[in-house]
Structure 1
């Protein structure tokens, strides 16, 4: 670091991780001459905190360009002579032109225990796959996604009924811990890094709302994981029963019957809703809704009549 001068960092940030990690830098006395964030999408459910607001509260220059690689923005960043560049849940890949700007390197905070769950929406994928832990990883950036050497990481547990939103809250805290305890070593040049063994994890792509359709062949455990991963504020796991698209908001796995041949059915019994999976196992449906509102046992009777309805083919 430059003697007797505070460190300077260009910060790309969005979402709750971006907010908390930006605050860690400011708390440590790091100068932030430029913050690059995203404009909130009009069609997106904005349930998370605003990096732009934190920047404004602290008198920081903050921009939200449609293209972060504009020559004038790169020139402005280079002229500020930054020691570091940090990316905290910024949604776009940064090319070499940005990675070469900071004197001491560019670093990203990723929401998994790398090399596991590299790529997009890592918390949701971890819950979908039934992982029992995840975390946050600070790593050096290169031109390949989530590929660089690891500075530090912190694990958090995933409980069997945790939703992705609940897990994400833990990951935000893990990210803050990782950055706060790593930053002093990064600033004094004593931080160590270890290369990733990419064979120990995989790369995952982004997800769209239509990816939430519950496969008719899914086991009860797979359905429970999908429901947890896509529960509010995410778009939800859904299926069509009797011509009606129903979003399953919350479930509890109550009975497992592996290798039983059965059809996916929604059942109204004992003043409760149940989902029978293709493996014959049962899920208690604790909450569900369609376009007209919540579906409870009385609503089921009004919509479908009878005791059960099978998934539409």
Structure 2
């Protein structure tokens, strides 16, 4: 079997390697040029292609006539998309003899659209996963082929969950490929009425509102913790980014209130705490000041501001 693969990021690298391990000939890979303004903390599909001697291209526009010609020349049995960042035109998808399939980082139909892992963490989900599905004209709307779930623990950051989803994507593809290659691709319903769609997120979306409940602030910190842009506030002209927080148990609330009253931020026993809009507390476990990782004690100069 022969495949054309659209891929980027860690999921792109791992799923590309799964195809090779299952004996699929990858005649062409379509990937992205790295953005010099982006924090590139993930593996390179282009470098993987160089390592394995696979032809790859990095077109700016997946709708270009040139790319369509390249895909047609490859005569793919399958087209796969693994964390490629653009929607693929229906005309291109139809070039695959046995179908075109995408790996999405959620348990569809929940969290269709952009950055699904970050949205799942922000909304306090306790589970997400990876879904292989047919590609269609609408994003993440085709029939489900296979899914693998992973847990989201209470203090997991989006990056930690992403690492789990990478493994889930690899397992999902590895387990279902034999059936697909034998012509028995599963087709399960993807009922969009039972799901949700979300757009992209901007760095400004990480601004902290301390009037919100502690759980919501904690979820925001987890959602955008490094290597993402971070949850932040601005004090005295400096940008203060929270790298990690932890919810303080409700049972400890009364003792903190007796000692510190309605004080918004304070040190207690060498630990830095913040009081949120619902009266509950977060322990701040790491900060960056103007994007530089510093000791929590560096926060002292802001406490009287």
Are positions 1:222 and 2:236 aligned together? no
Give me the whole-angstrom Cα distance separating, in 2, the residues matched to 1:24 and 1:101. Answer: 22
- Quote the residue 1:21 is aligned against: 15
Q: Please, which runs of 5 or more residues in structure 1 have no aligned partner?
A: 1-6
Give me the whole-angstrom Cα distance separating, in 1, the residues matched to 2:267 and 2:236. Answer: 14
Identify which range, 71-80 or 118-127, moves more after superposition.
71-80
- Quote the residue 1:77 is aligned against: 71
Structure 1 vs Structure 2 CA RMSD: 1.8
TM-score (norm 1): 0.90
Shift in Å, 1:29: 1.1
Specify which of 245, 255, 261 is matched with residue 239 of structure 2.
Answer: 245
Specify which of 127, 131, 139 is matched with residue 137 of structure 1.
Answer: 131
Give me the whole-angstrom Cα distance separating, in 2, the residues matched to 1:269 and 1:241. Answer: 21
Q: Deviations over 1:245-295 (max 9, x none)?
A: 2111111101347xx9x9893323332211110111000101012117345
Shift in Å, 1:96: 1.1
User: What is the count of residue pairs matched by the alignment?
Assistant: 297
Identify which range, 265-274 or 98-107, moves more after superposition.
265-274
Shift in Å, 1:73: 1.8
Specify which of 141, 164, 170 is matched with residue 170 of structure 1.
Answer: 164
Specify which of 63, 83, 87 is matched with residue 93 of structure 1.
Answer: 87
Identify which range, 50-59 or 107-116, moves more after superposition.
50-59
User: 1:284 is paired with a residue of what secondary structure?
Assistant: strand
Are positions 1:304 and 2:263 aligned together? no
Q: Deviations over 1:93-139 (max 9, x none)?
A: 01112111111111000000000110000111111111000000000
User: Is contact 2:286-2:296 (8 Å) kept?
Assistant: no
User: 2:248 is paired with a residue of what secondary structure?
Assistant: strand
- Quote the residue 2:198 is aligned against: 204
Are positions 1:64 and 2:62 aligned together? no
Specify which of 178, 187, 190 is matched with residue 193 of structure 1.
Answer: 187
Are positions 1:127 and 2:121 aligned together? yes
Give me the whole-angstrom Cα distance separating, in 1, the residues matched to 2:49 and 2:88. Answer: 21
Structure 1 residues 129 and 85, CA, compared in 2 at 3 Å: closer, same or farther?
same
Structure 1 residues 100 and 263, CA, compared in 2 at 3 Å: closer, same or farther?
farther
Identify which range, 66-75 or 46-55, moves more after superposition.
66-75
